[in-house]
Structure 1
């Protein structure tokens, strides 16, 4: 892996964004030789976060500013950091606790479980609102 590298991907605000983003992150993992657990955890986390953005961040087409989504990756030999940015309505997925675990699937309520998975794999999950953009940082420390 290079000493420090950064890649950026602009995504459409439509269902086609998810497969594009997942192909992108998988190609980065392969190119930089990320450990399998890191590649899996970051791919899963990006999928969860992007699904939330696409499902809830934007008004119907033609009712607001043009939706925009960008994901960037900065990596070195010790840490991989993804930054997912969108200009949708403010939402902090890190606020509050995930719903409690249940004994069976019939008792499970939708929502919040993706954040639990992200917290399991990531070392950092942080949100900020900056100049009209949601900024979600997802990072994982890796062993050299």
Structure 2
């Protein structure tokens, strides 16, 4: 497979994550991704995007999210850039696992999922933008 790059620019609305996931699913079908890659990348993208939409922006702030998907023979990387409040998820601690569902507390479990399924998570803050990259070494099916 040759190198491919796809991009999507989104304004932040109630349907931002849904629109991004439709875009990602379209690429997965177009490029014949494995079921595992499709599942893990969409799950992690959904988690990251919903957290950004829910927590990164203050009312009245001109909010934007830019997605860039890069594919090579060996890996697929989803770069998520947003102009919200600075937040580095790679430095956040995952909460301890609860002994039961009754003991479980909200928060931090999506980050645990991303760390489990992605081969790499990287973050930078540049020029007022958060830059989060989710990388999987699982290449699309040929």
C-alpha displacement at 1:96, in angstroms?
Answer: 2.9
C-alpha displacement at 1:90, in angstroms?
Answer: 0.2
SS in 2 for 1:135: strand
**Normalized against structure 1, the TM-score is what?**
0.93
Contact 1:77–1:142, Cα closer than 8 Å, also in 2? no
Taking the aligned partners of 1:90 and 1:129, their CA distance within structure 2 comes to: 7
C-alpha displacement at 1:85, in angstroms?
Answer: 0.4
SS in 1 for 2:76: strand
Unaligned runs of 5+ in 2: none
Task: Please name the residue that 1:38 is paired with.
Answer: 37
Task: Please name the residue that 2:137 is paired with.
Answer: 141
Count of residue pairs the alignment pairs up: 140
C-alpha displacement at 1:93, in angstroms?
Answer: 1.2
For residues 8-53 of structure 1, the C-alpha deviation after alignment (integer angstroms, 9 at most, x for no partner) is 0111211111111110111111111111101100000100000010
Taking the aligned partners of 2:124 and 2:40, their CA distance within structure 1 comes to: 22
Q: CA RMSD in A?
A: 1.1
Task: Please name the residue that 2:18 is paired with.
Answer: 19
